[in-house]
Chain A
Amino acid sequence: MSMISLTAARTGLVADDVIGGVRAVVETELAPIVKAIDIDGVYPDAALRALGKAGLFRQHLAAHAPDGAQDVGRAIAAMTAVGTVCLSTSFCTWCQDAAGWYLENTDNTALRDELQAGIASGAVLGGTGLSNPMKALSGIEGFKLRAQRAEGGWVVSGILPWVSNLGDGHWFGTVFEDAADASHRIMAMIRCGQPGVEIRQAARFHALEGTGTFAVLFRRAFIADAQILADPAVDLVKRIKAGFILLQTGMGLGVIRGCIDLMYEADRTHAETNAYLPKRPAWFEAELAALDERIMQLAVTPHESDTDYMRQVLTARLNVSELSLEASQAAMLHAGARGYIHGSAFNRRLRESYFVAIVTPSIKHLQQELARLAVH
């Protein structure tokens, strides 16, 4: 039984409908443009909006989920269905889901009312500028955005190097530091193109070019109090953390599933020789099923905050990265020369899997956090 059907079996008929709807859009609207996304850097705007209509972005948002229940596990399963075919689009999905998650957990109900419905449906696209804040809060780097209090809001300066799923008019969440008190952090939703906020394409990436990834420049941008998710940010960051990390696992689970499918495909012509490879699809199937089971269990309680729960969440996320790397390498070994050709799916999966491992929280970041938890 595949990982997707396991998940669907666990979450019932609603999940069957949702995952089935998402898979249908993936097959008709996304699969035909995967190469263009990867090679030409085409941003899958129309596919994302169609996936939004199919329910992809609303499963973890209580007010918008089909059965009125916040279900992070179902959101992960839906993201996995996308990632099985295209990591770029599942990464955009995670960005969108994270933005919805911040609004789900804010006490600013007016801001939630203004933005969340659009994000849930895909009518509004958005992302997350929390890579730097997450690293800053772990002591890995300093905050890149600093702000001074002004009448009715904050004046923010700084630059976020890479924020994804962006375009003109898209929204994203981020955290900035009070220049007068470095221990005071504020979390807000920002609109691309609002005065003082500019997005700029600055680099070409090894993979995931079609993800609407930009540097975001803040030039004394006025962020109104109405845009604030939390001030101070600390409690909200704690509330969103487990869900933020768990949601990401959908990207990696999709890559692993896709790599297993590629191994089966390679076996159609080379099974006799592939049988001598050390790790075969059946081994990955078992590992994936066990990992999926663990993640779905953790996703039931995304607001738990005790140390043991966080250790399990971080470990699951780490294991997703490790298995993604292993699966993409195994897929390439199953394929041989045809996988090594520029533009092949095997080649793309190899490049994509490294993204699962380096996107915040990266393997090294996760290992550091786990080491810290072991000390405390």
Chain B
Amino acid sequence: MPVAFITDVDGAQHMLTGAAGDSVMQIARAAGLPVLGECNGSMACATCHVILDADWADRLPPPSEDEEGTLDTVFNLQPTSRLSCQIVLDDTTDGIRMRLPE
């Protein structure tokens, strides 16, 4: 099963597993991390904002226009910011690493 590593605001690293096709938002929320995903992946809230490790940023497809537009509202936007609802677990994202924003 694909794995994602998420570092929380206290610096603790969480290894989460999910089925292929799950989004990182779904598995983070299921694990009880503060990734609210209030709009359930419709890119209307940015409450699933994550910051990818630099070496993973270029390995994902670029954000869609809607994702980019939503990310642009984030107050503490980082160069590798993404919406975790748009990151889907599969062979290409297995082992992906990210952190939660402050």
Contact = CB atoms under 8 A, between A and B. Distances in A.
A219 B69 CA distance: 9
B65 to A, nearest CB: 11
Contacts of B69: 198, 200, 217
Contacts, number: 45
Interface in B33-47: 36, 38-40, 42-47
Contact of B44 (A146, A158, A159): A159
B42 A159 contact: no
Interface string B30-64: 00000010111011111100000000000000000
Contacts of A158: 46, 73-75
B73 A218 contact: yes
A217 B75 CA distance: 12
Interface residues of B, number: 17
B44 A215 contact: yes
B42 to A, nearest CB: 4
A154 to B, nearest CB: 13
B75 A203 contact: no
Contact of A219 (B40, B66, B73): B73
A161 B75 CA distance: 15
A162 interface: yes
A179 interface: yes
B70 A161 contact: no
Interface range on chain A (Cβ under 8 Å from partner):
10 to 19
Give the interface SS of chain A, mostly helix, strand, loop or mixed.
strand
In terms of DSSP, what is the predominant structure of the interface of chain B? Answer: loop
Nearest to B36: A141
Interface in A204-226: 215, 217-219
Contact of A157 (B38, B44, B66, B73): B73
Contact of B45 (A146, A159, A179, A219): A159
A161 B73 CA distance: 12
A217 B73 CA distance: 6
Given A202-B42, A217-B69, A157 B36 contact: no
A161 B39 contact: yes
Contacts of B44: 159, 161-162, 200, 202-203, 215
Nearest to A198: B69
A159 B70 contact: yes
A146 to B, nearest CB: 5
A162 B44 CA distance: 8
Given A159-B46, A200-B66, 5 more contacts: A141-B36, A158-B74, A159-B44, A179-B75, A200-B69
Interface of A: 141, 144, 146, 157-159, 161-162, 179, 198, 200, 202-203, 215, 217-219
